[in-house]
Chains A and B, each alone.
Chain A
Amino acid sequence: MLRRLYQNHPEKFETIAQAWLASGASSFSISEYGQELASWSRGRPALNEPKIKAPIRCLDLTVGELSVTGSRVRDPHIRNQLAAEAEFLAHVLMVEGELEAMTAELVSMQDQLLALYDIAIATRAQVNVVEIVKALTQAVARLLRVEGAFMMLAHPQHKLFVDQFPENRLPEASLKQVYRQVVEMKHYIISNGYDVHKPLPAGVQKIIACPLRIQGEICAVLGVYNKLDDDFISPDLKLVQIVAQQAEAHIENALLVEENLKQARLQAEMKLAHQVQAQLLPSVPPSVSGLDIYASSIPALEVGGDFFDFVAQPEKPFLFVLGDVSGKGMAAAMLMAVTRTVIRSSARLLPEPTPARLLGRICEDLYADMTDVGMFTTAFIGSYDVVLRRLVYANAGHAPVIYCPAGGEAVLLEADAPAVGILPMSLSADHEMDFGVGDVLVVATDGFNEARNGQGEMLGYERLMVLVEKMADRSAEEIGAALFEEVWRFGNGRFQDDDQTLMVIKGVALDKEDVA
């Protein structure tokens, strides 16, 4: 510092020296940290001539000294004069220092502005979190002139994401160590490796790492390590902090965009699933002699896998089926479509397609697929023989199925086997019963009995059974409408979160041509 002052203003020192020599001193010299910077003398100095020194002290630190030799230097006035000059020099040095610091700050502000500009350019085109992280990591590494930079992001919307520039320079374990430390402290770290009590991770000699608060949660860390030519100082920290703040805002925006995209995709999927479901369900029940049939399905907001179908073929009993694929969304809708197709084609191909055989067929064809996607489907299949007026049914894990014989009490027809897709073989058997005029069969999905009211209470089986019993002398459509109305009334207009699908089959008089 003193040397630089001397080099910048040698004439000033020359003036001071010449003034000393003119006033009778034999020599004058200036030194920095014990090393002489310059000296002036009048001829050859006499041996053993008295010499006085005055230290140049800046903030309690002696940075150099002035010395004068001459016969009269022991005079207190002369001593005071030298001390005053040394003090003045110290003052000049301090002012110079402050000026330099101000200049450095200006430069660093300029750097920061440039950094912001660079980052704005680098992230302008990015809406993807991964790309933003990569762009910012690169930008900070370039700006700080460091060996490398990294960012770790552990946002719940994303899997743990680590980006390094240059790639893979540091072992991931080292980065995780830094991440944990910063997240636990909730504070930046800056270290040049001088503190032996706080060892740095492998490969790191100097480091700055700042936490990023995204959507209120500290879940990312931006770091730079091993500055190439120097130690990290506070302007470096400031720069990393600025980039970190920029990163926070950019990542938050990108997460919002991603969330919106996801929602849009989900909505599109839902719409498609609704369409699949709606198109596959028969819109009008078939006309079957001796039966009054009503069937309807109200899909929930999030589509499920409810389905029903009818298969009427010449010379074969009339078949009806109602089922519920577990799970929701497109997967459930697709599995429901496949199940329906298997039932239809088996009903045509099997010589005697009894309900139990059809369930066996679904199990054979779809068990592996259902296991792969972790789903299963309950199904109730019935077949009706118009001549014998008998009903054969098989029930794979489906509830509720309510049977109300004419004038009798409503009962639940329990399944005799679990849903299809749970066990590799079907355990369903055919059950037979008479089904004459006034007998009512109601097959519904759990969207009915599990419908909830405002208190979270469920509708349950009993209310449905009581209603079926009460409405048993009405038409299938009236019974169905009453059941839908009951759910609506019970839920007080709340939209239910599961599909509600219902089939009502009632025995009525045979068509004239079928009466023997």
Chain B
Amino acid sequence: MSMQMKEYVTRTVVVALKDEVVAFNVPELRERFYELLEEGVRQFVVDLSDVTFMDSAGMGLLVSVLKRARQEGGDVKLVLPRAEGARRIFALTKFDRVFDVAETAETAVRLF
């Protein structure tokens, strides 16, 4: 009798953002995310716990990472911001219907 084993390991990268994610810093963040995508990362947890505010450019960033990751068979899960203001934006604009969301990075990782 013989037994063959194969093991597949999929990388999941947790990216924690802080403070404001707005038009001003989005281009730099976008570049960093795209670098990770180029490196072959497909599964992202974007931890927004410490994000105090996101504008539409920030939302646009999450959407573009999500679209590119999904094109490659991956996905983006979010850890919702703790700050009430930032959390409210997600609810009002229904971004929480676009992403799987969790309260901590650990639970978000388990959503894959």
Q: Which residues of A contact B (CB under 8 A)?
A: 324, 326-328, 371, 374-376, 378, 397-400, 412, 414-419, 422-423, 427, 446, 450, 458, 460-461, 497
Q: Given contacts A399-B89, A415-B93, A418-B97, list 5 more A-B pairs with CB under 8 A.
A: A326-B60, A374-B67, A399-B92, A427-B97, A446-B55
Q: Which residues of B contact A374 (CB under 8 A)?
A: 60, 63-64, 67
Partner of B91, one of A371, A376, A414, A423: A414
26 examples of A-B residue contacts, CB within 8 angstroms:
A326-B56, A326-B60, A328-B23, A374-B67, A376-B63, A378-B56, A397-B94, A397-B95, A398-B93, A399-B93, A400-B92, A415-B92, A415-B94, A417-B94, A417-B97, A418-B95, A418-B97, A419-B93, A422-B98, A427-B94, A427-B97, A446-B55, A450-B55, A458-B53, A458-B85, A461-B88
Partner of B60, one of A375, A415, A416: A375
Q: Which residues of B contact A (CB under 8 A)?
A: 23, 53, 55-57, 59-60, 63-64, 67, 85, 88-89, 91-95, 97-98
Q: Which residues of A contact B94 (CB under 8 A)?
A: 397, 414-418, 427
**A-B contacts, CB under 8 A, total:** 56
Please give me the residue from chain B that is nearest to A419 by CB atom.
B93
B93 contacts A378, C-beta separation under 8 Å: yes
Q: Which residues of A contact B56 (CB under 8 A)?
A: 324, 326, 378, 446
Q: Which residues of B contact A497 (CB under 8 A)?
A: 23
Please give me the residue from chain B that is nearest to A413 by CB atom.
B92
Complex Cα spacing A417 to B89, Å = 13
A460 contacts B85, C-beta separation under 8 Å: yes
Q: Among A328, A375, A376, A422, which residue has the most Cβ atoms of chain B within 10 A?
A: A422
Complex Cα spacing A398 to B59, Å = 12
Complex Cα spacing A192 to B10, Å = 52
B6 to chain A, nearest CB (A): 33
Complex Cα spacing A371 to B63, Å = 9
Q: Which residues of A contact B57 (CB under 8 A)?
A: 326-327
Smallest CB-CB A-B distances: 3 pairs: A399-B92, A397-B93, A326-B60
Q: Which residues of A contact B91 (CB under 8 A)?
A: 414
A378 to chain B, nearest CB (A): 7
Q: Among B88, B94, B95, which residue has the most Cβ atoms of chain A within 10 A?
A: B94
Q: Which residues of A contact B55 (CB under 8 A)?
A: 446, 450
Complex Cα spacing A32 to B111, Å = 91
Q: Which residues of B contact A417 (CB under 8 A)?
A: 94, 97
A327 in contact with B60 given A450-B55, A460-B85 (CB within 8 Å): yes
Q: Which residues of B contact A415 (CB under 8 A)?
A: 92-94
Complex Cα spacing A324 to B23, Å = 15
Complex Cα spacing A414 to B60, Å = 19
A197 to chain B, nearest CB (A): 37
A124 to chain B, nearest CB (A): 37
Please give me the residue from chain B that is nearest to A416 by CB atom.
B94
Complex Cα spacing A419 to B91, Å = 12
Q: Which residues of A contact B93 (CB under 8 A)?
A: 378, 397-399, 415, 418-419
B68 to chain A, nearest CB (A): 9
Q: Among B55, B64, B93, B98, which residue has the most Cβ atoms of chain A within 10 A?
A: B93
